[in-house]
């Protein structure tokens, strides 16, 4: 349990120390923000700082730091290290720069920002990448909550249409359409702060339930500094892909522009972007600790955890809430674990609309123009979600492709941030180092994973060197670019 609390303290201290270093490196000032300058009443709306923080937290959280962290616990308490140091030196940096770079460019989507620093080819790649990722996220965060609602109703003895995934999926998709279409402060600005508090209360409740129950012992990192995965899945780089949102996630860069369009001052960035990521890291750490302590660990195998995870994320989260908080856990599971992924799903589809709007240069002040983009974006999500509910599409396949796409996007955004810092004659190593690391993670996984090149029998012997070589190559190309005269900076 000591190592858990050490990691918790490191996350909090990291916000006030390294987070401040990141903030000072960027250099926020008193310039007029897009929310003040444009203020269209739809996407550009000034919101108070506390709302910005809670909305950003819900935008980036969802099921990621909960279910992803529990999956990461299969590797044992070594996952605490990735959550802690990944959040401080990679995730927080990634979220901060994706938000602040967007703010400096009128709230532009991540694809447009990336293109400005990595070229038009990368801009077009990122446009497609972002839209596909956002629709997958929206679909994942519609199917998951629908499944949990069904689990709760069935456990309560309810049957009929209210105990079917398809019914609740349709209800969630209708809400997604409304939240994607109307002004950001009409629904999101009002209900997100409430659910943000629920997410935090649920995490505190789980932590309290673990710490106070003598039957739950959080294992120490130094006693289990080895791979405990029951299937022998290697830590590198599968754990770094699986535990995405709790350490670093490219999805966050697609969400940050939403709040970049609503900030009254640039000086809010440290709290809103870096702070929300640290808070998510804390949530992930708590749920990873739950996975490591509540379930049976025998002979190095997380047998009990792997069994509950096999029943799906809805069953796993419900089980933890019941075991740590009893009846209160059921209520929090309903309010937190249902609402939180839904509140990431709606903003995922909203971000997809804005990304397409930036790409196709379609003004979003007109409700007709918003409708033109909402219908196809939600239509694709509905096909994927309903296909899964009917058994035609495997949800786990969607999640696996999302995981790799997610971390690859994070890698690209960090390289774009490095070029931004170079052009502005600032310390680019704070982004170049995590960019290099994530390049190795992404390429290694792509070579080994069964849904990627691993399907052709490529193993660690090839994948590990390939990841290292790719990381060195990308870093070399970046350093070579820094030797050339920097183009005019977008300050």
Q: Average pLDDT for residues 236-262, to the nearest whole number?
A: 91
Beta bridge partners of residue 301, listed in sequence order: 298
pLDDT value of position 225: 87
Q: What is the pLDDT of residues 177-191, one digit of tens each?
A: 888 888 888 878 888
Domains of the chain, first to last: 2-399 (1.10.4160)
Question: SS3 for 31?
Answer: coil
Nearest Cα residue to 247 out of 94, 471, 430: 94
Rounded distance, CA 385 to CA 174, Å?
12
The answer to whether residues 397 and 234 touch, using CB atoms and an 8 Å cutoff, is: no
Lowest mean pLDDT among 121-125, 218-222, 450-454: 450-454
- Mean pLDDT computed over every residue of the chain: 87
Q: What is the pLDDT of residues 319-375, one digit of tens each?
A: 888 888 887 776 776 666 677 778 778 888 888 898 899 999 998 888 899 999 999
Confidence of residue 52 (pLDDT cuts 50, 70, 90): very high
Choose between 59 and 339: higher pLDDT.
59
CA angle at 396 for the pair 203 and 74, rounded to the nearest 5°:
50
Q: In this model, does residue 455 exceed pLDDT 80?
A: no
Integer-rounded Cα Rg, in Å, for the chain is 21
Lowest mean pLDDT among 31-35, 240-244, 413-417, 450-454: 450-454
Q: Average pLDDT for residues 251-272, to the nearest whole number?
A: 94
Tokens in use for 482? Answer: 């820094």
pLDDT value of position 451: 73
% of the chain beyond a pLDDT of 70? 91
Q: How distant, in Å, are the alpha carbons of 133, 248, 441 from that of 101?
A: 20, 17, 24
Rounded distance, CA 276 to CA 273, Å?
5
DSSP 354-417: HHHHHHHT--SSSHHHHHHHHHHHHHHHHHHHHHHHTTSS-HHHHHHHHHHHHHHHHHHHHHHH
Tokens in use for 483? Answer: 């030797």
8-state DSSP, 488:
P
Q: In this model, does residue 435 exceed pLDDT 60?
A: yes
pLDDT value of position 400: 62
Q: In this model, does residue 23 exceed pLDDT 90?
A: yes
The answer to whether residues 448 and 454 touch, using CB atoms and an 8 Å cutoff, is: yes
pLDDT value of position 394: 57
Count of beta carbons in the 10 Å neighbourhood of residue 159: 9
pLDDT value of position 297: 57
The answer to whether residues 436 and 475 touch, using CB atoms and an 8 Å cutoff, is: yes
pLDDT value of position 337: 65
pLDDT value of position 405: 81
Confidence of residue 164 (pLDDT cuts 50, 70, 90): confident
Choose between 484 and 236: higher pLDDT.
236
Q: How distant, in Å, are the alpha carbons of 246, 310, 431, 438 from that of 80?
A: 10, 22, 22, 18
Confidence of residue 134 (pLDDT cuts 50, 70, 90): confident
pLDDT value of position 47: 94
Query: Left if phi > 0, otherwise alpha if psi is -120 to 50, otherwise beta: which for 52?
Result: alpha
Lowest mean pLDDT among 107-116, 253-262, 397-406: 397-406
pLDDT value of position 129: 79
Rounded distance, CA 324 to CA 321, Å?
5
Q: Average pLDDT for residues 92-100, to the nearest whole number?
A: 98
Burial class (CB in 10 A: 0-12, 13-18, 19+), 372: middle
Q: Average pLDDT for residues 132-151, to the nearest whole number?
A: 78
Task: Please count the residues of the chain.
Answer: 491
Choose between 388 and 248: higher pLDDT.
248
Q: In this model, does residue 428 exceed pLDDT 80?
A: yes
Most confident segment among 144-153, 195-204, 419-428 = 419-428
Most confident segment among 39-43, 137-141, 338-342, 383-387 = 39-43
pLDDT value of position 391: 62
Choose between 27 and 344: higher pLDDT.
27
Q: In this model, does residue 432 exceed pLDDT 60?
A: yes
Rounded distance, CA 10 to CA 2, Å?
12
DSSP 319-365: HHHHHHHTHHHHHHIIIIIIHHHHHHHHHHHHHHHHHHHHHHT--SS
């Amino acid at each position: 349990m000591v190592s858990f609390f050490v990691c918790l303290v490191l996350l909090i201290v990291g916000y006030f120390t390294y987070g401040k270093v990141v903030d000072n490196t960027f250099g926020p000032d008193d310039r007029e923000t897009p929310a003040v300058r444009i203020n269209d009443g739809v996407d550009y709306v000034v919101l108070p700082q506390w709302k910005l923080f809670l909305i950003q937290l819900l935008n980036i959280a969802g099921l990621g730091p909960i279910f992803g962290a529990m999956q990461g616990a299969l590797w044992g308490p070594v996952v605490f290290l990735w959550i802690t140091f990944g959040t401080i030196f990679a995730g927080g940096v990634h979220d901060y720069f994706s938000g602040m770079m967007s703010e400096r460019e009128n709230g532009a989507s991540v694809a447009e920002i990336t293109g400005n620093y990595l070229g038009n080819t990368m801009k077009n790649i990122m446009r497609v990448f972002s839209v596909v990722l956002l629709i997958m996220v929206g679909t994942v965060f519609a199917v998951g909550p629908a499944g949990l609602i069904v689990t709760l109703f069935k456990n309560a003895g309810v049957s009929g249409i209210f105990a079917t995934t398809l019914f609740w999926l349709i209800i969630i998709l209708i809400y997604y359409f409304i939240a994607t279409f109307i002004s950001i402060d009409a629904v999101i600005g009002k209900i997100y702060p409430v659910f943000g508090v629920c997410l935090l209360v649920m995490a505190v409740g789980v932590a309290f339930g673990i710490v106070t129950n003598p039957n739950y012992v959080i294992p120490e990192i130094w006693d289990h500094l080895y791979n405990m995965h029951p299937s022998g899945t290697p830590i590198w780089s599968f754990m770094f892909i699986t535990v995405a949102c709790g350490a670093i996630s490219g999805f966050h860069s697609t969400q940050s522009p939403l709040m970049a369009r609503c900030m009254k001052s640039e000086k809010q960035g440290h709290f809103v972007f870096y702070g929300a990521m640290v808070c998510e890291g804390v949530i992930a750490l708590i749920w990873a600790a739950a996975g490591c302590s509540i379930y049976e660990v025998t002979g190095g195998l997380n047998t009990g955890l792997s069994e509950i995870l096999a029943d799906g994320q809805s069953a796993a989260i419900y089980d933890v809430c019941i075991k740590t908080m009893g009846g209160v856990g059921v209520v929090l599971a309903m309010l937190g674990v249902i609402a939180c992924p839904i509140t990431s799903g709606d903003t995922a589809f909203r971000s997809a609309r804005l990304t397409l709007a930036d790409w196709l240069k379609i003004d979003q002040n007109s409700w007709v123009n918003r409708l033109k983009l909402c219908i196809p974006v939600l239509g694709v999500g509905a096909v994927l979600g309903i296909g899964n509910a009917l058994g035609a599409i495997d949800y786990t396949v969607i999640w696996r492709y999302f995981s790799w796409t997610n971390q690859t996007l994070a890698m690209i955004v960090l390289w774009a941030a490095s070029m931004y810092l170079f052009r502005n004659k600032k310390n680019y190593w704070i982004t170049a180092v995590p960019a290099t690391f994530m390049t190795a993670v992404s390429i290694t996984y792509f070579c080994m994973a069964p849904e990627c090149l691993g399907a052709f029998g490529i193993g660690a012997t090839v994948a590990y060197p390939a990841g290292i070589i790719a990381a060195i190559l990308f870093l070399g190309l970046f350093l070579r670019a820094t030797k050339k005269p920097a183009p005019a900076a977008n300050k």
